[in-house]
Amino acid sequence: MLTDHTLSFLFTPPIFLISLTIYEYAHAWLAYRYGDDTAKRIGRMTLNPLAHISPFGTIILPLLVNFGWANPVPVNFSILTKKQIFNVAAAGPVANILLVIILTIAFHLFRLRVMPLLGNFVLLAILFNIILAVFNLIPIPPLDGSRTVYANLKSPEAIIAYKNYSRFGMLVLVGLFLLAQQQDSHGGNRL
């Protein structure tokens, strides 16, 4: 009998790859619809997971710390309007939410609760996609949430401040991740 931990370990890589592939494809597809063919020209507007794998972010890091990322789809934001930037940034998380809805309907429609192996796979995929969508909406560069904030900035001062802040976004993310890891290793916040 496989334990929940073993099942999670076996299920996570395919769920991770499929979810990130759909997420990146959504960005590429919408950018292409808006006239940016950058991702298509270099073969990244595809549902082939191999095109989106980052050796470090998709393979090495997830094995070490249960966290990772796909190779981001290149988008030429300079040719897009602010509304288009907002929509392209939101496309990935929206794709993950649509996947959650489809999987939830499938789980209930096909009564996957009575099929523990497949049911647990689908439930883990639902959870993973919710986490992926919510995490990517955090307004810290390079996450999509920061692009949605940028698309709504009006004043030149705010845009300059955003660009200055965005240089440190990855450091902020790493710091938050390390803080969360440390909290987790110490048993979290106890009341």
| Cβ pair 28, 92 in contact under 8 A | no
Residue with tokens 């048993």: 187
Residue at 83: amino acid letter: K
What's CA 97's distance to the chain center, in Å?
Answer: 11
Verify cis geometry, omega within 30 degrees of 0, for the bond prior to 142: yes
CB neighbour list of residue 141: distance below 8 Å, 6 or more residues apart: 165, 166, 169, 170
- CB neighbours (10 Å) of residue 22? 19
Alpha-carbon span 28 to 18, nearest angstrom: 15
Residues with active-site annotation? 24
CB neighbour list of residue 140: distance below 8 Å, 6 or more residues apart: 146, 169, 172, 173, 176
